[in-house]
């Protein structure tokens, strides 16, 4: 089942708003020991995973910001405007979607203990 998980090929009805929630639900489904947990415990696990995954993605993005754009990126981050941040990243980070997808796969592999 783990090998079929592909963040680059989410369900047909996938949209950005459901992105991390969908991803987290897929992780939970694949973690066999979670199948027997109470629903409220699973919900807490989901809440705990969200910031961890965001941090993982943010680190991957930060590692790929061109060095000569780091100061500009810091200023954009200070605005806390998600649209500006997304626009900057799309403009200045080649293969942004691939970088995020790789970060998600790496997180999944680490979280599920999948050997590479």
DSSP-derived secondary structure letter, 37: S
The DSSP secondary-structure symbol of 94 reads T
Q: What is the token pair recorded at 4?
A: 């079929």
Domain with 78 in it: 38-116
Show the low-confidence residues of the chain (pLDDT under 70). 1-18, 115-116
- pLDDT at res. 113: 87
In a domain, 56, yes or no: yes
Q: Say what the pTM is.
A: 0.76
Q: Judge whether 56 and 111 are in contact, CB under 8 Å.
A: no
Residue 83: CA count within 13 A, CB half-sphere:
0
Residue at 26 is within a domain: no
pLDDT of residue 12: 54
Structural domain count of the chain? 1
For residue 12, tell me if it sits in a domain: no
């Amino acid at each position: 089942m783990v090998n079929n998980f592909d963040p680059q090929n989410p369900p047909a009805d996938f949209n950005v708003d459901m992105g991390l929630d969908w991803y987290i639900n897929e992780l939970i489904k694949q973690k066999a020991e979670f199948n027997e947990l109470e629903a409220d415990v699973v919900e807490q696990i989901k809440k705990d995973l969200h910031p961890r995954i965001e941090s993982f993605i943010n680190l991957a993005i930060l590692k790929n910001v061109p060095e000569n754009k780091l100061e500009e990126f810091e200023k954009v981050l200070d605005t806390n405007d998600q649209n500006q941040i997304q626009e900057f990243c799309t403009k200045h980070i080649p293969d942004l979607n691939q970088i995020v997808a790789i970060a998600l796969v790496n997180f999944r592999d680490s979280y599920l203990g999948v050997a590479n």
